[in-house]
Amino acid sequence: MREEGASEALPRRKVEEQPTHEERLAREGRTPEENVIDNQSEEERSSELHSMIELSEEMEDEERREAKENAEEQSDEERSSESIGEFAEGRVDAEKRVAEEKV
């Protein structure tokens, strides 16, 4: 059960006034113009970082595609090699049968 007046027993926090944007800049010793330049520089750095991440992801995707293609080509070559080997074995077997039939 909830006690009546329990919320009243909690100390009330003093609400502090938040400084305005201009006051924060003044405290930091910066002008609004400097802040705009800093924000633009930060946006440019962020944009460059995102571009680098996208490029990196594209390169990784391309490497995966190439690896998959190489694996498929290798698999195709192995199947082709196996087929040639099986054909050669079949030919040798056929030649042996023909030779045995002649005897």
Residue 72 belongs to some domain of the structure: yes
Q: Are 32 and 22 contacting, i.e. CB atoms less than 8 angstroms apart?
A: yes
As for how many domains the chain has, the answer is 1
Domain boundaries, position 57: 19-78
- Token pair of 12, please? 């009330």
**Predicted TM-score of the model (pTM):** 0.41
Domain assignment of residue 101, yes or no:
no
Q: Could you read off the pLDDT of 13-57 as tens digits, one per residue?
A: 666 778 787 788 778 888 878 877 888 888 888 999 999 999 999
Whether residue 38 is contained in a domain is answered as: yes
Within a domain: 67: yes
Residue 83 is assigned to a structural domain of this protein: no
6 found inside a domain: no
Report the C-alpha dihedral over residues 44, 50, 56, 61, rounded to 10 degrees: -140
Asked whether residue 40 is domain-assigned, the answer is: yes
pLDDT tens-digit profile of 55-96?
999 999 999 999 999 988 888 777 777 667 666 676 767 777
Please check whether residue 73 lies inside any domain of the structure.
yes
